Structure 1
Amino acid sequence: MAEAPRSLTLTVLGSGTSVGVPTIGCHCKVCTSNDPRDTRLRPSVCVRWDQRVVMIDTGPDFRQQALTHQLDRLDAVLYTHPHADHILGLDDLRPFNYRQKEPIPIYASAFTMEVIRRIFSYIFHDGPTESSRPKIEAHVFDGTPILVDGIEFKPIPVKHGSGECHGYRFGRAAYLTDHSEIPEESMALLEGLDVLFLDALRYKPHPTHSTVDQSLKTVARLKPKATYFTHISHDLLHARAQELLPEHVYLAYDGLQIAIEA
């Protein structure tokens, strides 16, 4: 008898760009909006199933996000790339260590892990310390799927300007943030999706991020059942931008939850 599909829940913890929305000192229409969907923390999502929780990125807002969404355990963290808005919450893994009394596995490319080791060198120091520090198990992936309690997370290489970034495919969903181009070999890994997350920073061109129009072209090619745009700047007022999007394409927002079949 075939095993029944497992149901995953993806929660958007942050849908904003690197400086968040509202942006400090800005009084534009989006930054002063009363629509809660226009308040965007730094980008990350969590995936939950059967009491398991996997984070994709831990940015500077991770503590606030974890409290808001009542995350009381963490089974793994997958990193997309080593920019500040995606890694600086790593130190906030400590309370999960206190509760779980075990190291937390983190996964990243060789380049991303090298930067993490440099920025958080105190975590990897073997000597005695008077204060607590995160206890982690650092794993460098080589492109093969990452397995967490039977669920596969497949790294998807994308271009982030001249730098590298990785999205992840899990079940019939994929999460891609911070990309300016999706290579052909990665496009092939994104076929047959129910849910696709894409970077869509703004309407105007940007050297390291996809625009709304560029991401719409990706949608037209891949034809997922539903697409959500994330890593959104204060150039997009949620209500107005959503009105202009085609059917089955949506702006993500903080707190959005989506059921996914694995």
Structure 2
Amino acid sequence: MHLIFLGTGTSQGVPYIGCEHPVCLSKNPKDKRLRSSILVTTDSHHRILIDCGPDFRQQMLLHQEKQVDAVLLTHEHNDHIIGLDDLRPIIFHNKKNMPIYCKQRTGNEIKNRFPYAFSQNKYPGVPSFDIHILENHAFSLFNLEIMPIEVMHYKIDIFGYKFKNTAYITDASGISDQEKIKLKNLDNLIINCLRKDNPHLSHFILSQVLNLVDELKPKKTYLTHLSHQIGFHDETNQQLPDNIQLAYDGLKISF
């Protein structure tokens, strides 16, 4: 199995409109961060998309990816779901509805924001989705066991996902001791890290992630959902422990 980071940026992306912060003005491609999403390729060569934000079309074209077989959603905020309409060409090519796996609350929001995809009398050319509601227990998809990880994003509960011994968590600000048990001794922990300092109410910052890594002891940690306040990619990476690094758009890891 392997995955590619389609995007590693926060909700506004990096650079964001009108920003003159040095990181937003950087010429280094690794400092250009589209909205956070990954595409997982299973051992059976199925492709599972985790989150589908406003940059989805651009991300697929940029990385020459053509296929999505299922979508897992962490939660319903726009930077994680608003690109679902751009799945249309893939849905038409597959000649079947796109399966989407998510919490009940997230499924309800998809129906509210894309009502035309669920209409009884659909306008020609609109996408078609099959919503599968997840609970906080393991399920199988394409012969792969996937474990939802429930985390807190300020006051709402959202999902991360664990597959094999790799976990993907974004937009977290807290993880219960019960859920941390699922995250012990991973090969790869992918986790959000908004900035270096100045606590945020709904996202981990670097000091919190470092404490979490020390507690969970993953072999390798990749930081994602990054704002410009995390600093320059190359400079910040040099300051991090050897087993922790900033992810970047286009990074591929195998597991």
Match of 2:250 in 1: 255
Displacement of 1:201 after TM fit? Answer: 0.2
Distance 2:118 2:96 in 1: 16
Q: Deviations over 1:103-125 (max 9, x none)?
A: 11100001111111111111111
The percentage of aligned residue pairs carrying the same residue is 43
Q: 1:44 aligns with which of 37, 50, 54?
A: 37
Match of 1:237 in 2: 232
SS in 2 for 1:22: coil
Match of 1:67 in 2: 61
Q: Deviations over 1:21-76 (max 9, x none)?
A: 01100111101111111000000001013331000000000001111222222111
Runs of 4+ residues deviating >6 angstroms: none
Aligned residues: 252
1:1-262 pair list within 5 angstroms = 8-49=1-42, 50-129=44-123, 131-203=124-196, 204-235=198-229, 236-260=231-255
Distance 1:144 1:200 in 2: 26
So what's the TM-score if we normalise by structure 2?
A: 0.96
> What are structure 1's unaligned runs of at least 5 residues?
1-7
Distance 2:88 2:138 in 1: 26
Displacement of 1:10 after TM fit? Answer: 1.0
Distance 2:138 2:49 in 1: 16
SS in 2 for 1:114: helix
SS in 1 for 2:199: coil
8 A Cα contact 1:80 1:165, kept in partner? yes
SS in 1 for 2:140: strand
Q: Deviations over 1:169-190 (max 9, x none)?
A: 0001000000001111110111
Distance 1:143 1:134 in 2: 28
Matched letter for residue 140 of structure 1: I
**CA RMSD, aligned part only?**
1.0
SS in 1 for 2:240: coil
Distance 2:60 2:215 in 1: 35
8 A Cα contact 2:116 2:122, kept in partner? no
8 A Cα contact 1:16 1:41, kept in partner? yes
Distance 2:31 2:67 in 1: 28
Displacement of 1:102 after TM fit? Answer: 1.1
